[in-house]
Amino acid sequence: MNHPLSLAIDCDPGLDDAVAIALAAAAPDLAIDLVTTVEGNASLEMVTANAGSIIAALGHAAPVHGGHRASRGDPARFSTAIWGGDGSLALAPAASPAADDAVSALLRWLDRPLPGERMLIALGPLSNIARLLERRPGFGEALAGLVVMGGAIGRGNATPEAELNIWVDPEAAAAVFASATPATIVPLDITRQVIAGPDFSTALHRSRRKPAALVASLMPMAGIDSHPAAIHDACVVGFLLWPELFRLEQGTLAVITERGPREGRTLWTPDPQGPHRLAVALDIDAFLGRMVQQLAGAEA
Give the integer Cα–Cα distance in Å for 53 and 63: 11
Would the pLDDT of 73 be above 80?
Answer: no
Among 60, 68, 232, 276, the active-site one is 232
Give the Å distances, CA to CA, from 239 to 113, 221, 234: 25, 24, 9
Confidence class of residue 180 from pLDDT cuts 50, 70 and 90?
A: confident
Orientation angle between helical segments 284-296 and 210-218, nearest 10 degrees: 120
- Average pLDDT value for the chain: 95
**Is a pLDDT exceeding 80 seen at residue 3?**
yes
Model confidence at 71, in pLDDT bands (50, 70, 90)? confident
Can you tell me the mean pLDDT for 158-167? 98
Please name the residues in contact with 101: beta carbons below 8 A apart, sequence gap of 6 or more.
65, 66, 67, 68
Instruction: Say if residue 299's pLDDT is above 80.
Output: no
pLDDT at 74: 87
Q: What is the pLDDT of residue 1?
A: 53
What mean pLDDT is predicted for residues 78-99?
A: 94
Separation between Cα atoms, residue 218 and residue 210, nearest integer Å: 12
Q: What percent of the chain has pLDDT over 90?
A: 92
Confidence of residue 231 (pLDDT cuts 50, 70, 90): very high
> 3 an active-site residue?
no
Cα–Cα distance, 187 to 190 (Å, whole number): 6
- pLDDT for residue 300 is more than 70: no
Return the pLDDT at 2.
81
- Please write the tens of the pLDDT for every residue from 184-217: 999 999 999 999 989 999 999 999 999 999 999 9
Alpha-carbon distance of 52 to 91, in angstroms, equals 10
Contact 29, 237 (CB under 8 A): no
SS3 189: helix
Cβ pair 154, 268 in contact under 8 A: no
Bridge partners, residue 36, by sequence: 10, 65
> What's the half-sphere exposure (Cβ side, CA atoms, 13 Å) at 59?
6
CA dihedral 32, 146, 80, 172 (to 10 degrees): 130
Alpha-carbon distance 249 to 297, whole Å? 32
Report the SS3 class of residue 224. Answer: coil
**Residue pLDDT, tens place only, 17-53:** 999 999 999 999 999 999 999 999 999 999 999 999 9
**pLDDT at residue 59 is higher than 90:** yes
SS3 64: strand
For residue 235, the tally of other CB atoms under 10 A from its CB is 30
Of the pLDDT bands very low, low, confident and very high (cuts 50, 70, 90), residue 253 is very high
How far, in Å, CA of 296 to CA of 298, rounded? 7
Confidence label for 98 from pLDDT (cuts 50, 70 and 90):
very high
pLDDT at residue 291 greater than cutoff 70 = yes
What confidence category does residue 60 fall into, taking pLDDT thresholds of 50, 70 and 90?
very high
Residue 226 has what pLDDT? Answer: 94
Residue 282 pLDDT:
98
Count of CB atoms within 10 A of residue 43's CB?
17
pLDDT at 124 over 60: yes
* Cα→Cα distances 287→103, 240, 246, 281, 297, Å: 32, 12, 9, 12, 15
User: How does strand 246-255 pair with strand 266-270?
Assistant: antiparallel
Domains (ranges, CATH) in the chain?
5-299 (3.90.245.10)
The rounded distance, in Å, linking the Cα atoms of 104 and 236 is 24
